[in-house]
């Protein structure tokens, strides 16, 4: 037997016999309590709240690195179009969000969609191969398993309810992986490259969350631009460039040519909404807070206090971490920037991401948001749905909640 410092360590090559550790977390929790949330709203009037929202949007935009992002023409390309069961038209499109940066997406357009239809941007979360789960491509076994486990096909669920659903790949997922081999391997295809993006961006002052939010802002630009184009050229596809692959029939159904549509705009860009689960909820939170063109938000599985959920549970994905953010705001403060626009927050009681105190961590943040809506005299535009079970999306009552939120705006 070998010894090290008088202690027996077992066979040669075994790890050191450590019986006590000295972690940094207790100290960091103390620093959080001392320095966090210095810019929370402290006023008492609606006018003060509106001024605070304007200041915080500027602050948050800077923390996310938005001023460093670069605009360019959208250069939309249609890769293929198929007609799915239920007469839902699925367009595979890519748009240019920055010079040399492309965002592929699926656009789900239900039958009967017209210039009054509400479009939902549906950003994906983790562990679902990006847009494939959200758009409901269940013919792939690994994708189908994630859809079943997380109820992940919320884009398709919205399309079946009659809404237009826009299901993008966020950076690092699906067709936006950094290495092609990672997109082609079963072991890695469902994951993402957030840590690589963080290593690239954070030293430049551009955290991953800022990249994702910028891309979604460009997606709103696309919805606005295409609506205007189709109003002028009601061809069903507007002024898009045809992709190299041409039309591709769906495996279960679909013609060999582009399915016809009645022509004219298929959505109302004044009604652009955003619904996301988990990491998609994070994107929805930041997008709706910063971009007032988002008329309604649905945040599922991602609204809780930073101290419990991201500091104590510090093994979460690097896309969650924005330098200096916690010094200024907590999640409830950020979501207060959405008021008075309609907002549905969905939490699950047994979601481990709530942190060690459970759903109480989420409830505390919703109460911060509720005060903003009350000050705006629009308390009915905030709904907090607490569901049973673990980390997953719940669409069972979505139609009811959306009806309630939209009626509160009448």
pLDDT in tens, 272-321: 999 999 999 999 999 999 999 999 999 999 999 999 999 999 999 999 99
CA distance 132 to 153: 8
Q: Which of 227, 236, 225, 228 lies closest to 78 in space, CA to CA?
A: 236
C-alpha dist (Å) from residue 152 to 252, 296, 348, 395: 20, 20, 15, 10
Please state the separation of Cα 236 from the chain's center in Å: 28
Q: What is the pLDDT of residue 396?
A: 96
Assign 197 to helix, strand or coil.
helix
CA distance 372 to 41: 9
Please state the separation of Cα 131 from the chain's center in Å: 11
Q: Which of 302, 290, 293, 295 lies closest to 336 in space, CA to CA?
A: 290
> Does the pLDDT value for residue 261 go beyond 60?
no
Cβ pair 29, 311 in contact under 8 A = yes
Q: Are strands 119-121 and 164-168 parallel, antiparallel or unpaired?
A: parallel
> Does the pLDDT value for residue 6 go beyond 50?
no
Q: What is the pLDDT of residue 7?
A: 53
Among the ranges given (160-174, 219-233, 384-398), the one the predictor scored with the smallest mean pLDDT: 219-233
pLDDT per residue over 24-53, tens digit each? 999 999 999 999 999 999 999 999 999 999
> Does the pLDDT value for residue 245 go beyond 70?
no
CA distance 273 to 342: 10
Assign 234 to helix, strand or coil.
coil
Q: What is the pLDDT of residue 149?
A: 96
- Position of tokens 């009915």? 380
- What is the number of other CB atoms lying within 10 angstroms of the CB of residue 409? 13
Q: What is the pLDDT of residue 408?
A: 86
Give 11's pLDDT tier (boundaries 50, 70, 90).
low
pLDDT per residue over 319-359, tens digit each? 999 999 999 999 999 999 999 999 999 999 999 999 999 99
Average pLDDT, the chain: 91
C-alpha dist (Å) from residue 149 to 60, 143, 352: 34, 10, 15
Q: What is the pLDDT of residue 2?
A: 43
- What is the number of other CB atoms lying within 10 angstroms of the CB of residue 3? 9
CA distance 236 to 74: 18
Give 4's pLDDT tier (boundaries 50, 70, 90).
very low
C-alpha dist (Å) from residue 320 to 126, 281, 338: 12, 11, 19
Higher pLDDT, 246 or 74: 74
- What is the number of other CB atoms lying within 10 angstroms of the CB of residue 165? 28
pLDDT per residue over 222-244, tens digit each? 999 999 999 876 555 554 554 54
Largest CA-CA distance found in the chain, in angstroms, rounded: 84
Cβ pair 131, 105 in contact under 8 A = yes
Q: What is the pLDDT of residue 14?
A: 87
Beta strands in 26-124 (DSSP E): 77-84, 88-98, 101-110, 119-121
> Does the pLDDT value for residue 10 go beyond 70?
no
- What is the number of other CB atoms lying within 10 angstroms of the CB of residue 26? 8
Q: Which of 306, 393, 283 lies closest to 346 in space, CA to CA?
A: 393
In sequence order, what are the beta bridge partners of 277? 300
């Amino acid at each position: 037997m070998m010894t090290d410092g008088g202690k027996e360590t077992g066979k040669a090559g075994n790890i050191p016999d450590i019986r006590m550790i000295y972690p940094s977390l207790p100290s960091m929790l103390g620093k959080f309590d001392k320095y966090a949330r210095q810019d929370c709203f402290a006023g008492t009037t609606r006018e003060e709240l509106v001024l605070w929202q304007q200041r915080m949007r500027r602050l948050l935009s800077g923390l996310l690195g938005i001023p460093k992002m670069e605009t360019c023409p959208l250069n939309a390309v249609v890769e293929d179009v198929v007609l799915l069961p239920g007469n839902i038209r699925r367009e595979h499109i890519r748009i240019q969000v920055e010079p040399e940066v492309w965002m592929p997406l699926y656009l789900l357009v239900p039958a009967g969609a017209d210039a009054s239809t509400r479009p939902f941007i549906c950003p994906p979360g983790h562990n679902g191969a990006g847009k494939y789960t959200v758009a409901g491509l269940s013919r792939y076994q690994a994708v189908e398993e994630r859809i079943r486990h997380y109820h992940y096909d919320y884009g398709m669920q919205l399309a079946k309810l009659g809404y237009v659903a826009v299901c993008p790949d966020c950076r690092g997922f699906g067709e936006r992986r950094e290495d092609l081999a990672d997109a082609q391997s079963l072991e890695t295809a469902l994951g993402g490259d957030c840590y690589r993006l963080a290593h690239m961006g954070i030293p430049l002052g551009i955290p991953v969350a800022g990249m994702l939010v910028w891309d979604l802002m460009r997606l709103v630009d696309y919805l606005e631009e295409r609506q205007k184009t189709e109003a002028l050229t009601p061809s069903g596809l507007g002024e898009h460039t045809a992709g190299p692959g041409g039309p591709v029939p769906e495996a279960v159904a679909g013609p060999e040519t582009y399915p016809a549509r009645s022509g004219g705009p298929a959505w109302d860009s004044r009604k652009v909404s955003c619904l996301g689960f988990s990491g998609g909820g994070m994107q929805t939170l930041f997008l709706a807070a910063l971009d007032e063109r988002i008329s309604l938000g649905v945040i599922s599985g991602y609204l809780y206090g930073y101290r419990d959920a991201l500091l104590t549970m510090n093994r979460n994905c690097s896309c969650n971490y924005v330098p200096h953010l916690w010094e200024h705001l907590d999640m409830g403060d950020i979501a207060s920037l959405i008021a008075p626009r309609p907002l549905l927050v969905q939490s699950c009681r047994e979601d481990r991401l709530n942190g060690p105190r459970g759903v109480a961590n989420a409830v505390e943040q919703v109460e911060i948001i509720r005060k903003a809506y009350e000050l705006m005299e629009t308390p009915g535009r905030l709904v907090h749905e607490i569901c049973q079970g673990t980390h997953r999306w719940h669409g069972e009552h979505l139609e009811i909640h959306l009806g309630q939120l939209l009626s509160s705006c009448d």
